Structure 1
Amino acid sequence: MNEAQKFWNGAAAIIMSDNKLLMVRGKGTSSWSIPSGGIEAGETAEKACVREVWEETGYGVDINKLLHIKKALIGNYHVTTSYFLCNVIDGQITYHDPDEIIEEIAWKSFDDFKNIQQDYPEDREMLLSYFNVEKY
């Protein structure tokens, strides 16, 4: 018997400052990801992105632009995630996470990023492209 297909829509923020990428690490894991989460009822992807960044990091952000939309099938979930390029406009690192799943918030340099485990390794090359580094 086939399980009913389910849908999950989310938003993710790519935020660079001083050539560092804002990332979060969940409790009980050594993996990192960019701030992201599900779109709630009545929310646009943009509003969800801004809310998730604030909840997970304490920063207020403006969205520069939609970068791309990732579609994946994970288990019986059809997952759609909108990725936005954002700028910090205010705030400081603080925890407002209502789900209490974030354990650490950090700005990761290019060298840091290359050496950390990532929650979504399929995003690695795309995220690396936002660092200003010499290409050899």
Structure 2
Amino acid sequence: MEKWIGASGVCINRNAQILMVLQGKPEEKKVWSVPSGGLEKNETIEECCIREIFEETGYEAEIVKRLFVKEGVSYGFEVEVHYFEVKVVGGNAKIQDPDQLIYDIAWKSADEIKDLELSFPEDRNLLIELINKKMVF
């Protein structure tokens, strides 16, 4: 089985909302996800995370910390996805995805995430938990 390696950026703003994108192939139903994508040749996993956020959302970001690595099988591929907490340091919301798979960019609250159709439903509780942790000062 072919292995896909990628990165996801989890960005939570001061309003306790996560940066998310609505994505899918033209013929597919569109679903929500944190910005993410595949590792390119000669790129570190951290560089992949930052590049994907910029391509999918127009925001410039920097990594705050590594969160975890998710491994398993998804859509028929063995996957290894590195999740990072990131913060926006510049840019503006703008879809500029070279793959043309992004249809919307939005900041979503924990309550909204409960009802969203996600690309990776197994991430739902994790995303809500990360928002709730950020709300504790």
Aligned pairs for 1:77-88 within 5 A: 77-88=77-88
Change (3 A) 1:23 1:76: closer
Q: Does 1:24 align with 2:21?
A: yes
Partner of 1:106: 106
Q: State the TM-score, normalized to the length of structure 1.
A: 0.89
Change (3 A) 1:100 1:129: same
2:83 maps to a residue whose letter is Y
Structure number with larger C-alpha Rg = 1
Partner of 1:54: 54
**Structure 1: gaps spanning 5 or more residues:** none
Equivalents in 2 of 1:75, 1:118: separation in Å? Answer: 14
Partner of 1:7: 3
1:57 maps to a residue whose letter is T
Q: How many residues align?
A: 130
**Structure 2: gaps spanning 5 or more residues:** none
Equivalents in 2 of 1:75, 1:97: separation in Å? Answer: 21
Equivalents in 2 of 1:87, 1:9: separation in Å? Answer: 22
Deviations 1:61-106 (A, max 9, x none): 0101110000012365221000000000001100110001100100
Equivalents in 2 of 1:70, 1:107: separation in Å? Answer: 23
Q: State the TM-score, normalized to the length of structure 2.
A: 0.89
Deviation at 1:110, TM superposition (A): 1.7
Larger helix share, 1 or 2: 2
